[in-house]
Amino acid sequence: MTRRPPVAAACLAALAAAAGCTHRAAVPAPAPASLAAALRGAFLVGAAVNEGVFSGRDTAGAALVAAQFNSVTPENALKWESLHPGRGRYDFAAADRYVAFGERHGMFVVGHTLVWHNQTPSWVFEDTTGHPVSRDTLVARLRDHILTVVGRYRGRVAGWDVVNEAVADDGSLRRTPWLSIVGEDYPVLAFRFAHEADPAAQLYYNDYSLENAPKRAGAIALVRRLLAAGVPVAGVGLQEHDRLDWPAAADVDTTIAAFAALGVKVMVTELDVDVLPRAVRQTGADVTLAAAARPELNPWPAALPDSVQQQLARRYAELFGVFLRHRGQVSRVTFWGVTDRDSWKNDWPVRGRTNYPLLFDREGRPKPAFDAVIAAADAARPGF
Ligand code: XIL
């Protein structure tokens, strides 16, 4: 049996011969491209990681994260309910492993999140009889939580999502127990406590659907108020839980520019692209939304048709085109998950669907969308 060189190697050999190169050594297989390498000099590129990745259980996932990314965000491990499930009871086991994982791989380690209305146990807002606590009590609890958590990882967690999703769709402050019990200054207090706990940490405001004009205006007003109060807001996180057709690239562009104009860093903090049929009218990422499962909402349980795969690749190229154009303003782009298998989009807002929102498939193999991101970086690279 004659062994023929693969087509690519044959072409390379032909090219070398044409160029007068007689060197015959085998051409080593190119190392798989890495997002971190392709985007180095433009911005950091991160992934939200779950316990499987940082506990060592998911070795393939951990290896993929180490090879591809230079920043991590904890998908759930640093939320209030994970860290501080009961009054006076902290549990740092998972969080410690998360931070150690990020350090071991030399990553920019993000903390997510200190103040949110979701994944915060009800005891936080209640006294022992179940009634709402006073402002003073809730401020004291907030201060204790932030000083304890940020203080524990002082100098190790480089940036914190201090306040998450405080603005409602109409731009007003969202009606949450934080607002009704503490009042409008709770974001100011949260940032002050975080700064007190770690003066060197970058402190961020993080939210979704900021491409919607009323909500964007509300978030801009909030950041302005914080800056006017002397609060050190280092950056704003645009979550970017996107769809194939939403938001328009032009609106992402406008949104990045609008926040950058405030003089703060802009980060894309939770990027994914939902390819499944819309199950709820709202765009965005309200984690409390839920819709009933119906077969027509889960059209591709076995595999993504090639046409949609290509559409996803084009969408990622478009989004990275925008991020790369703003590379002086965007400091990090983080994906919300690593592979399609572990994406929250398989269960939100409908449980048990098969979604395909990320760059790596269920086996951790790069998808055409991955190649599209690398190509977008290559095309922009002469500039960074
Ligand atoms: C999601 C996680 O991915 C899920 O595992 C969890 O059940 C709910 O929260 N906005 C945020 C993230 O800021 O913390 C949310 O993460 C997704 C929406």
Please give the pLDDT value at position 359.
98
Q: pLDDT per residue over 44-97, tens digit each?
A: 999 999 999 999 999 999 999 999 999 999 999 999 999 999 999 999 999 999
Q: pLDDT per residue over 236-257, tens digit each?
A: 999 999 999 999 999 999 999 9
Q: pLDDT per residue over 194-251, tens digit each?
A: 999 999 999 999 999 999 999 999 999 999 999 999 999 999 999 999 999 999 999 9
Q: Whose CA is nearest to atom 4 of ligand 1?
A: 344
Which of 119, 344, 347, 348 is the best mutation target for the ligand 1 pocket, counting ligand atoms within 8 Å of the beta carbon and taking the most?
344
- Distance of alpha carbon 111 from alpha carbon 48, whole angstroms: 11
Per-residue pLDDT averaged across 130-152, rounded? 98
Residues contacting residue 171 through CB under 8 Å, at least 6 positions apart = 214, 215, 216, 217, 218, 219, 221
- Name the pLDDT band for 383 (thresholds 50, 70, 90): confident
Measured N-to-C along each axis, helices 306-325 and 249-260 cross at an angle, to the nearest 10 degrees, of 30
Upstream peptide bond of 113 is cis (omega within 30 degrees of 0): yes
- Distance of alpha carbon 284 from alpha carbon 211, whole angstroms: 10
Which H or E run includes 161? strand 159-164
Q: pLDDT per residue over 341-366, tens digit each?
A: 999 999 999 999 999 999 999 999 99
Which of 208, 287, 340 is the best mutation target for the ligand 1 pocket, counting ligand atoms within 8 Å of the beta carbon and taking the most?
287
Provide the β-strand partners of residue 366.
360
pLDDT at 114 over 90: yes
* Closest listed residue to residue 73, CA positions, set 113, 42, 33, 19: 113
- Name the pLDDT band for 29 (thresholds 50, 70, 90): low
- Give the Å distance between the CA of 274 and the centre of ligand 1: 14
Beta carbons of 270 and 334 less than 8 angstroms apart: yes
- Distance of alpha carbon 274 from alpha carbon 312, whole angstroms: 9
The pLDDT mean for the chain works out to 93
Q: Whose CA is nearest to atom 7 of ligand 1?
A: 344
Query: Residue 100, CB half-sphere, CA atoms under 13 Å: how many?
Result: 10
Please give the pLDDT value at position 6.
38
- Give the Å distance between the CA of 354 and the centre of ligand 1: 17
| Ligand 1 atom nearest 112 alpha carbon | 14
Per-residue pLDDT averaged across 13-42, rounded? 65
Beta carbons of 348 and 287 less than 8 angstroms apart: yes
- Give the Å distance between the CA of 110 and the centre of ligand 1: 15
Please give the pLDDT value at position 15.
40
Residues contacting ligand 1 via CB (< 6 Å): 75-76, 164, 239, 270, 285, 287, 344
What DSSP state is assigned to residue 134? P
Which of 51, 73, 76, 160 is the best mutation target for the ligand 1 pocket, counting ligand atoms within 8 Å of the beta carbon and taking the most?
76
Please give the pLDDT value at position 30.
60
Q: Is the pTM of this model over 0.85?
A: yes
* Closest listed residue to residue 209, CA positions, set 167, 250, 180, 245: 167
Please give the pLDDT value at position 5.
36
Residues contacting residue 374 through CB under 8 Å, at least 6 positions apart = 33, 35, 38
Per-residue pLDDT averaged across 264-277, rounded? 98
